[in-house]
Amino acid sequence: MTRLNLQKENTMCKIIDLEGSNKFISKITAMGLTNGTIIEVIQNNKKFPVLLFARDTMIAVSKEEAKKIFVKEVS
């Protein structure tokens, strides 16, 4: 299990856990990023938000938000 902000581009991951305030968790789950969701990391470079593809939608999360999302790489 690792943090989302550490994942490489073009990897598939499963969300394992979310940490943070109730406000953060409410925001992330409203975007469809819940435990068990399979996501694809599209872009993850230092100067930009992490760009994800999940549930047929492109989603951008900040680096700080990505640090609070724990994922496990899937094949």
Question: What was the pLDDT predicted at 20?
Answer: 96
The domain at 2-74 falls in which architecture?
Roll (2.30)
Instruction: Indicate yes or no: pTM above 0.95.
Output: no
CA distance 42 to 44: 7
Question: What was the pLDDT predicted at 75?
Answer: 79
Domain residue extents for the chain? 2-74
Contact 39, 33 (CB under 8 A): yes
pLDDT per residue of the chain (75 residues) written in tens, 0 to 9: 999 999 999 999 999 999 999 999 999 999 999 999 999 999 999 889 999 999 999 999 999 999 999 999 997
Within a 13 Å sphere around the CA of 9, how many CA atoms are in the beta-carbon half?
9
Contact 75, 10 (CB under 8 A): no
